[in-house]
Amino acid sequence: MLTRLIEFVTSLVVLLFAALPMLVLLSIRRLFGGKVCFLKQAYYLNTSSTLKAKLFNTKHIYLNTLPLYSHVLSGKLNIIGSSLRPIEEVTSGLEIGKPGILSIWLIRRINKIDYEGRDNIDLEYLKNRSIKKDFMILVKSLLALSAKVGANKTPEKIDLLGINFLNCSMSAALELISRTVDMNKKEKFYFMNPDCFNKLFEDEEYRAIMEKSDNVFPDGSGVNLACTMIGKDLRHNVNGTDMLPYLCEMVEKNRYRLFLLGAKPGITEKMKKNLEEKYPDLIVCGTNDGYFDRENESDIVIDRINKSQANILLVAFGVPLQEKWIEKNFHELQINAAIGVGGLFDFYSGTMPRAPKWMRELGIEWVFRLMMEPKRMWRRYIIGNPLFLKRVRTWKKEQNKVNN
Ligand code: UDP
């Protein structure tokens, strides 16, 4: 009853102080020959009813849904709830409770980390729903206020700063790795975050490797932002740290063999122990630290990897060392998939804490990493992030000139 009252009063406030001024602005735009003020949209409520609603005609996710607060007054919607689904996106008779204008799915979708899929995220929300969790969704939604509706193109590959990366979902990325093993093929997989893009400008050899790589995954919220800047819609933020649990499930289920190569001595053993506790049937068939003499001792390490009969090799030397090592030694490696994973082992060995989920959901994991290792990370993030965005902007202008 109290929640209902709070929702009622909040919706009234939103309608009066946000929706009404917005309507005035859109009407002025309309008067001067601009676009229509409203767009029609039908939403799924439950198996027997739909909601015919109007949205403001703007690209901003939260601004365009302002008229929906009138349906909170009438009791058809919640402010916070399971995700609000356009009728055309519903394929089966789902029971997802009363939908909310704001939802945990929407926050994860904006930051491209809705890996589990909409249904599972909604079901998880309904299972764990509490006033505290709803309040957190509200706070996270306020922090993501500038998000825009995905009206951009969603191509299979995206060219950013001269690198063509795969614009795929997390499950499609895993499928690609799995297919490589099942078909006994041999492939390299790399991730690129904004820091990696910056490194292209300092290291010709690294650039040459990445330019000819077929399997590059987009890593991090910075790449998501860059894609929005160039008018492309990223499907998922496919980063190694988020991928690992799914990869382990896949390795476990298919009885593949995993080799961990990289990080300081002792780290891979800790990681192996942690993973085997969590995934009892996982086969980690070998480990090796990343501080051997790469010039003179690579043969010994490759021999260990080959003898272990690994299918999937994770190489964690950091960018671009790992990419260069994989390229140089790929022909000697008897594996199916070599994946460059950067600092991943430090997280999963328990050596380095990972950012809390709310920070990841907001796409600010880098802030946490900066707090953890300010001396090492300030250059990467404080200088590197704006530099990356500036480079994207300049590159976009150049691309536009070429295309016109
Ligand atoms: N590392 C290594 N061998 C080296 C240098 C680094 O195995 O010669 C490891 C290091 O211990 C760390 C990882 O590579 O675990 C690099 O982590 P970082 O977070 O810098 O990688 P990024 O993902 O940012 O490239």
Are 112 and 237 contacting, i.e. CB atoms less than 8 angstroms apart? yes
DSSP code of 354?
Answer: P
Span from the CA of 321 to the centroid of ligand 1 (angstroms)? 8
Span from the CA of 263 to the centroid of ligand 1 (angstroms)? 6
Backbone angles phi, psi at 195, to 5 degrees: -65, -40
Our answer on whether the CB atom of 323 is closer than 6 Å to any ligand 1 atom is no
Residue 330 tokens, joined:
């790929």
- Distance CA(86)–CA(270), nearest Å, equals 46
pLDDT of 105 reads 95
Residues in the chain: 404
Exposure class string for 271-304: b at 16+ Cβ within 10 A, else e? bbeebeeebeebbbbbbbbbeeeeeeeeeebbee
Our answer on whether the CB atom of 191 is closer than 6 Å to any ligand 1 atom is no
Span from the CA of 342 to the centroid of ligand 1 (angstroms)? 5
Are 349 and 246 contacting, i.e. CB atoms less than 8 angstroms apart? no
- Distance CA(353)–CA(373), nearest Å, equals 11
Nearest-atom index, ligand 1, CA of 345: 15
Angle between helices 298-308 and 321-329 (to 10 degrees): 70
pLDDT along the chain (404 residues), means of 10: 88 96 95 92 91 93 93 95 92 83 94 94 94 92 74 85 97 98 98 98 98 96 94 95 98 98 98 97 98 97 98 98 98 98 97 94 94 96 97 95 83
pTM of the predicted model as reported, rounded to 2 decimal places = 0.92
Our answer on whether the CB atom of 346 is closer than 6 Å to any ligand 1 atom is yes
Our answer on whether the CB atom of 294 is closer than 6 Å to any ligand 1 atom is no
Span from the CA of 215 to the centroid of ligand 1 (angstroms)? 21
Our answer on whether the CB atom of 263 is closer than 6 Å to any ligand 1 atom is yes
Span from the CA of 291 to the centroid of ligand 1 (angstroms)? 10
Residue 317 tokens, joined:
């030397």
**Sign of the torsion formed by the C-alpha atoms of 288, 250, 241 and 219:** positive
| Residue ID of nearest Cα to ligand 1 atom 20 | 318
Our answer on whether the CB atom of 291 is closer than 6 Å to any ligand 1 atom is yes
Our answer on whether the CB atom of 106 is closer than 6 Å to any ligand 1 atom is no
Span from the CA of 328 to the centroid of ligand 1 (angstroms)? 18
Angle between helices 365-372 and 221-229 (to 10 degrees): 140
| Residue ID of nearest Cα to ligand 1 atom 17 | 343
Span from the CA of 133 to the centroid of ligand 1 (angstroms)? 35
pLDDT of 61 reads 84
pLDDT of 396 reads 95
